[in-house]
Amino acid sequence: MAVVFDRPHALCDCNLHYCPGCTHGIIHRLVAEVIDELGVEGKTVGVAPVGCSVFAYNYFNCDMIEAPHGRAPAVATGVKRACPDDVVFTYQGDGDLAAIGTAETVHAATRGENIVVIFVNNTTYGMTGGQMAPTTLPNQVTQTTPYGRDVNTAGFPIRVCEMLCTLDGVALAQRVAVDTVPHIREAKKAIKKAFQNQIDGKGFSIVEILSTCPTNWGLSPVEALDWLRENMMPYYPLGVYKDSEKGVK
């Protein structure tokens, strides 16, 4: 019987630990498909974050390194400088990338570090049980904003792509989502472009992926996708914020 749909080779044959309805699984698959299609698994090194996707090092079939919280871009810098011909990517959540690791992210970007950053934004610290993240929306209820995020005391969410697109070292800053099939296709195109940028030596590419956290949001998977569309997309508009071929949006 002909196989029409298979697990990408760059994804290990194992059960992922993610909650039902979590979109990390889709994003893992997209990254793995891109690695397969570009034929670079043998020279790819991934850097896993701290957070829900910490076990990414067990899920990707390429060589993997687990970084301290927020430091993935610095670790990836070390790998890329050591092995310039390797393809190096980080896989990070919003707390990891935009709170504790902001300095590492911004400076890897401004150096034009020739790496790929996969940034999964689900507005929450998932692993620790749903606390406020730097991307938590105004008035959003989390474990540590039980009355909703009050911007007067907790400040405003960070729009990472908008912030990074001003930096000369950035080759690609694009925000995508994985809530619908067309968006998933778009997300894969962006990820592929980011990897291709690295192979072509273009510099720092970040793909921000709007993602859901049904467990911590207290919603069903379908409701979570609706919530993403209704609440996240207006605050975090999808699109290409910088493409070195086309300039800043």
Partner 1 sequence: MSERVLMKGNEALAAAAINAGCHHFFGYPITPQTEVAAYMSKMMPKVGGVYLQAESEVAAINMVLGAAAAGKRAMTSSSSPGISLKSEGVSYIAGSDLPCVIINVQRGGPGLGGIQPSQADYWQATKALGHGDYQLLVFAPSTVQEMVDMVTLAFDKADEYRMPAMILADGMLGQMMEPVTLPEPVKELPKKEWAACGHENKRPHNIVNSLYIEPDELERLVDERYERYAHIQETEQRAECIMTEDADIVVVAFGATARIAMSAVRAARQEGIKAGVIRPITLWPFPNDILKETAKTAKAFLTVEMSKGQMVDDVKLAVECAKPVHFFGRTGGVIPQPNEVLEQIRKIAGGIK
Total binding residues toward partner 1, as defined by CB under 8 A:
36
| Location of structure tokens 């990472």 | 160
Interface stretch with partner 1, choices 83-91, 162-170, 176-184, 238-246 (CB under 8 A): 83-91
Alpha-carbon separation of residue 246 from 77, 109, 130, 172 (angstroms): 26, 18, 38, 10
Interface stretch with partner 1, choices 26-34, 68-76, 186-194, 236-244 (CB under 8 A): 68-76
Euclidean distance between the first and the last CA atom of the chain, given in angstroms as a whole number: 48
Interface stretch with partner 1, choices 20-28, 78-86, 139-147, 190-198 (CB under 8 A): 78-86
Binding mask 96-135 for partner 1 (x = CB under 8 A): -------xx-xx----------------------------
Task: Confirm or reject binding of residue 34 to partner 1 (CB under 8 A).
Answer: no
Residue 66 tokens read as 């687990």
Smallest separation, CB 63 to partner 1 (Å): 4
When the beta carbons of 30 and 108 are compared against partner 1, the nearer one is 108
Alpha-carbon separation of residue 129 from 10, 38, 142, 153, 212 (angstroms): 29, 36, 9, 22, 14
Cα–Cα nearest to 203, from 159, 160, 161, 243 = 243
Task: Confirm or reject binding of residue 44 to partner 1 (CB under 8 A).
Answer: yes
Task: Confirm or reject binding of residue 221 to partner 1 (CB under 8 A).
Answer: no
Spatial CB neighbours of 93, under 8 Å, sequence gap ≥ 6: 49, 51, 52, 53, 119, 120, 121, 122, 125, 126, 133
Residue 122 tokens read as 């689900």
Smallest separation, CB 60 to partner 1 (Å): 7
Task: Confirm or reject binding of residue 28 to partner 1 (CB under 8 A).
Answer: no
Three-point CA angle 74, 78, 82, nearest 5°: 165
Task: Confirm or reject binding of residue 206 to partner 1 (CB under 8 A).
Answer: no
Residues at the site binding partner 1, with contacts judged by CB under 8 A: 12, 41-45, 47, 54, 57-58, 60-68, 71, 74-83, 86-87, 103-104, 106-107
